[in-house]
Amino acid sequence: MNPAALALLLLTMGNGPFDIMMFATSTAPAVEGAARLVYAPSPFGIAVTADGRASYDAQITVFHLPPPDSLGAFTSYVAWETTTDLSEWHRLGTVRNGRNTVGRLELNKFLLVVTAEPDSLAATRAGPTVLHGNSPSGWLQSFITHPLFRGVN
């Protein structure tokens, strides 16, 4: 990441427990971005789902997104929330260069993904990934089953 973009990201996003560093893929290696989880509006202070999970709005800040059609037959970029095993995908909203507030995140552990899509209203992911990041809860991982902790070389 170039120093000017990094400085701007740190100023706008910070480096706290609700910030997600996003990483570019080989599809668009110059793209830089980060996301911040903001509590969704609620008359009770913190919005939660019916089963008690916190609801967040995602603010994604992106720099250097190329025109979508430079990657193929694509017209827009779309943000998605997906489970860590990639079995469920939820469309959040369209993403452009700059700060974007996209849809509601309601999974405890998730991946935040930005893809190029043929339609800005795409209901299912079809295009290539350009950015991805891990939820803060994804940082917590048990290594108890890792071979190094079981005495296996």
> pLDDT digit string (tens) for 79-104?
999 988 889 999 999 999 999 999 88
Check pLDDT > 90 for residue 15.
no
Q: Is the dihedral of CA 70, 73, 74, 75 positive or negative?
A: positive
Say if residues 38 and 59 touch (Cβ distance below 8 Å). yes
- Say if CB 37 and CB 81 are below 8 A apart: no
Is the pTM higher than 0.85?
Answer: no
Burial of 135 (0-12, 13-18, 19+ CB in 10 A): buried
Q: Which of 19, 5, 38, 53 is nearest to 134 (CA)?
A: 19
Would you call 99 helix, strand, or coil by DSSP?
strand
Report how far Cα 19 is from the mean position of its chain's Cα atoms.
10
Query: Band of the pLDDT at 30, cuts 50, 70, 90?
Result: very high
